[in-house]
Amino acid sequence: MYADYAYLIVALPVLAFLLCLFLGWNLPRGGGFITVLATLGAFIVSLGIFTETYPHEIVHQSMHWFANFNVGILIDPLALVMLLMVSFVVTLIHIYGNGYMNGDPGAARYFAEAALFSASMLGLVYADNLLQLFIFWELVGLCSYLLIGFWYRKPSAAAAAKKAFLTTRVGDVLFLAGIILLYNNLAALNLDLKAGEYLLQFPVIYAHITQIPADQLTLIALGLLGGAVGKSGQFPLHVWLPDAMEGPTTVSAMIHAATMVTAGVYLVARMFPLFYAAPYGLTAVAAVGAFTALFAATMGLTAFDIKRVLAFSTVSQLGFMMAGLGAGAAVGAMAVGVSMFHLIGHSFFKALLFLCAGSVIHAVNTNDLREMGGVGKYMKWTMYTMLIGSLSLAGFPLFTGFFTKDEIILIAYEYGTAINFLPYIFLVVAAILTAIYTFRMWFSVFTGKERSNYGKHESPWVMLGPLVILAVFAFGFGVATQSNFYSYLDSNFEHYDVDFAELSAIGGHALEEEHAAAEGEHAPAAEGEHGAEEEHSIPWYIHNLPILIAIGGILIAGLFYWDKIKKFDPSQATGDNDPLRRTLLKGYYQHEILTGWFAETVVYGTALICNMIDIKLVDGWLNWLSAWVMGFAQHVRKVQTGVVQNYVTALVLGVVVLVVVITLAMEVGLV
């Protein structure tokens, strides 16, 4: 029954967008309650569909749009967990936003844009074809631009919005190129489609991957990966994400932690069979993800802005998810379950962390960790909920992050035994750093002495309520759903009869196939049984290493930043001129390289040369031609004397000449 109302999941937030946009100015708190109700409605519908379809059904509705395209709704396990997570987290953030944005003159605009964002993200998740997904993908990008630049009078916010928009645009162009390539390849197959089937629909794509040439598959996969890299803030297109913290904290929590940036990971998960079949497809995903995880973690270690720490942490965790999907080259479709599990868990605890940070900033009125300290005395609720979020992010045993992140590290180990250990090593180091930077932040904010004279009060309950709910999920989600989640998501591609054995033959995963066979029919689409398999395929010390990592990392952070057990002074640990320290503080000189050198020298220089060529060569010959024509005309126009008699005379003479010529011609016999 609920499935009939699936369209409401997008329609309700769109309605809220229109209401807030046009009527919000006259409503209390900018009409925020409308947005909350709309996303709550979307969540209820999603939940209804979940109870109806769990665990063996999918919902697929579709109608003709134009030419070879359709619009449709496809709700399979993969989409459903995303729908539930997005609508749930976004609802909580909107409730929190009611408190956080209270009194802001642009509150109505905020809630309208936030509602539009919710609608586009939900639409992206359950689109049934790539074109529709791309449209919502762009809408999400637009909302991101609008919300980052929400305080558009602030130059840094306007610049950050522009940066986010332009950087993701690079990825979007690659994504579009991938879609077009895929479409061309599918069209070239001359498929005999049944009524109601369209080329870019996911089931159709899944069914025909094997018929596309392998080299084309790799190109398509790289194009799609480009889009995912842009949206999910992976290296080298990660630069926009830390800057995006210029928007309100709720925006950071909603867009840049919990939902939007996961779209890239979702895209790779959605197209997982294609990546799996493409030679080097998943290898590239694993490489990008693992590198980003470590790279961003090191920068998170040195940031002083509490939101930037969290932003780098987001980039890093998205790297984990990507690497988890990439590890699918070794473990098959199970990687989707593992990666999505981290994605969902991460949205809970990262949304929680951001909202806690927002609560702190709301009270303290500064973003700078160096000016905080001892806040815990005044904000007990915020302190404990943030502690839960931090423990979860650090991967402390029994917290959500422990189950989700460590599973990724484990399958990265399997990837290591099968293909290459580099991603595994990167991820382990990144995991240690995660624990360290998370608790560096927590200790700096809540413990120690007050380092400046800041506002001392707890936030209102409209803000604390969502924190508590999210904290419950950040703690309990992992342990409660772990076993069911994997089997549910692992079954995702069975609905489309995707044969991973066949795909792996194209993708050149033969080596891992043997490896998997040796383990006992483990790899493709292992349903729930993989838990038992892992026990004897992975040594115990690898299995338990993540626990050590989490606790060790927290201890290291404590030694530097917790006044009770403090042993080292962070500013004395390395010299001021230590090159490593300077590199980290400067963020690997990214600004210098990307903006200072690449943008201002290389791109600007190229632009100058192009401009010269355009003016001198392309425009040049055209201008010369037109100048010549003009000069010629200057002479010829004198014929127009302006005296009517001359014209008449010319006319008559012309007629006479014509008559004479024609008569002569007739005489001679030419005509």
Partner 1 sequence: MIPLELYILLASTMFTIGLYGLVTQKNGVKLMMCIELLLNSANINLVAFSAYQPNVNGQVFALFSIALAAAEAGVGFAILIALYRLYGTIDLDNINTMRW
The contact set with partner 1 (CB under 8 A) reads 637-638, 640-645, 648-649, 652
Q: Which is nearer to partner 1, 601 or 641 (CB)?
A: 641
Q: Which is nearer to partner 1, 1 or 644 (CB)?
A: 644
**DSSP notation for 337-348:** HHHHHHHHHHHH
Q: Which is nearer to partner 1, 193 or 650 (CB)?
A: 650
Angle at CA 114, nearest 5°, toward 108 and 116? Answer: 105
Residue 453's SS3 state is: coil
Least distance (Å) between residue 66 CB and partner 1: 50
Least distance (Å) between residue 656 CB and partner 1: 11
* DSSP label at residue 396: -
Least distance (Å) between residue 645 CB and partner 1: 5
Residue 514's SS3 state is: helix
Q: Which is nearer to partner 1, 193 or 648 (CB)?
A: 648
Q: CA separation (Å) from 400 to 303, 403, 408, 482? A: 25, 6, 13, 9
Q: Which is nearer to partner 1, 189 or 650 (CB)?
A: 650
Least distance (Å) between residue 659 CB and partner 1: 14
Least distance (Å) between residue 640 CB and partner 1: 5
Least distance (Å) between residue 635 CB and partner 1: 11
Q: Which is nearer to partner 1, 153 or 638 (CB)?
A: 638
Least distance (Å) between residue 638 CB and partner 1: 7
Q: Which is nearer to partner 1, 22 or 632 (CB)?
A: 632
Residue 554's CB is within 10 A of a number of other CB atoms, namely 23
Least distance (Å) between residue 655 CB and partner 1: 10
Residue 60's SS3 state is: strand
Least distance (Å) between residue 653 CB and partner 1: 10
Distance of CA 463 to the CA centre of its chain: 26
Token pair for residue 453? Answer: 């004279």
Distance of CA 122 to the CA centre of its chain: 14
Q: Which is nearer to partner 1, 629 or 648 (CB)?
A: 648
Q: Which residues pair with 61 in a beta bridge?
A: 73
- H helices of 211-333, in order, are 214-231, 240-243, 249-253, 262-270, 272-277, 281-300, 306-326, 328-331
66 CB-near residues (< 8 Å, 6+ apart)? none
Rounded Cα gap, residues 402 and 413, in angstroms: 16
Half-sphere exposure of 618 (CA within 13 A, CB side): 7
Residue 3's SS3 state is: helix
Q: Which is nearer to partner 1, 63 or 644 (CB)?
A: 644
Residue 71's SS3 state is: strand
- H helices of 327-421, in order, are 328-331, 334-364, 380-394, 400-418
Residue 554 identity (one-letter amino acid): I
Half-sphere exposure of 350 (CA within 13 A, CB side): 34
Token pair for residue 665? Answer: 């011609």
Least distance (Å) between residue 666 CB and partner 1: 21
Q: Which is nearer to partner 1, 67 or 633 (CB)?
A: 633
